[in-house]
Chain A
Amino acid sequence: DQQVKQNSPSLSVQEGRISILNCDYTNSMFDYFLWYKKYPAEGPTFLISISSIKDKNEDGRFTVFLNKSAKHLSLHIVPSQPGDSAVYFCAASAVHYKLSFGAGTTVTVRA
């Protein structure tokens, strides 16, 4: 049962433009959300997170938005850079240790 869904398997964006990655979840008990970035042959690395008490969190070029009523979150990357080309995973937690991951979105930043 996939509780976290990333419906876009891939995204291609031009360098300098905005990348928007989307994630939907079904479990209303989730109260913490994270985005991870993964390069080939490496483990996922933590990017940014948001608690359910907030609707926005920003860290440099990365901003995560949370819409609890829609059970939807998104990651905005502005401006996109070639080094941002990677697989991005959305994850959610209802119990502090247990992360449920989405299937991932592959982002390709074109020069």
Chain B
Amino acid sequence: DAGVIQSPRHEVTEMGQEVTLRCKPISGHNSLFWYRQTMMRGLELLIYFNNNVPIDDSGMPEDRFSAKMPNASFSTLKIQPSEPRDSAVYFCASMVAGGTYEQYFGPGTRLTVT
């Protein structure tokens, strides 16, 4: 069974450019999460989708960040324009809502903005 799939695994871009991170959740999971991990702030939740609908986006840092989930098997996190302080590892996770609280994480995308 495939786990959560994220692409790209690494992204290096220049300040001001648009960055799009992609995620395919585990089949059958109806909840999807985007997290960001930095040395300063650790692992923090950016946004949570349930049945493709954004439920909680209170962790999205600012308007430069946006996330979409057009269907149950695909989500994107977009940063436009990107800034050096956005450099981090971005994880996507999925789970079955209403079950246990266990979230399954993808391998992450390491983003470097120069």
A102–B42 Cα gap in the complex (Å)? 7
Please give the distance in Å from A103's CB to the nearest CB on chain B: 5
Asked if A43 is an interface residue, CB under 8 A from chain B, the answer is yes
Count, chain B residues at interface, CB 8 A:
25
Contact partner of B102 among A34, A42, A43, CB < 8 A? A34
Contact partner of B91 among A43, A93, A102, A103, CB < 8 A? A43
Interface size of A as a range: 20 to 34
Contact partner of A97 among B42, B50, B91, B107, CB < 8 A? B50
* CB-based contact B93/A101 at 8 Å: no
The stretch that binds B, out of A21-29, A44-52, A58-66, A69-77, is: A44-52
Report B's interface with A, CB cutoff 8 A: 4, 31, 33, 42-45, 48, 50, 55-56, 91, 93, 95, 97-98, 100-108
Given contacts A43-B93, A44-B43, A97-B101, 9 further A-B contacts (CB under 8 A): A36-B105, A42-B107, A43-B91, A46-B103, A46-B104, A49-B100, A49-B102, A98-B45, A101-B44
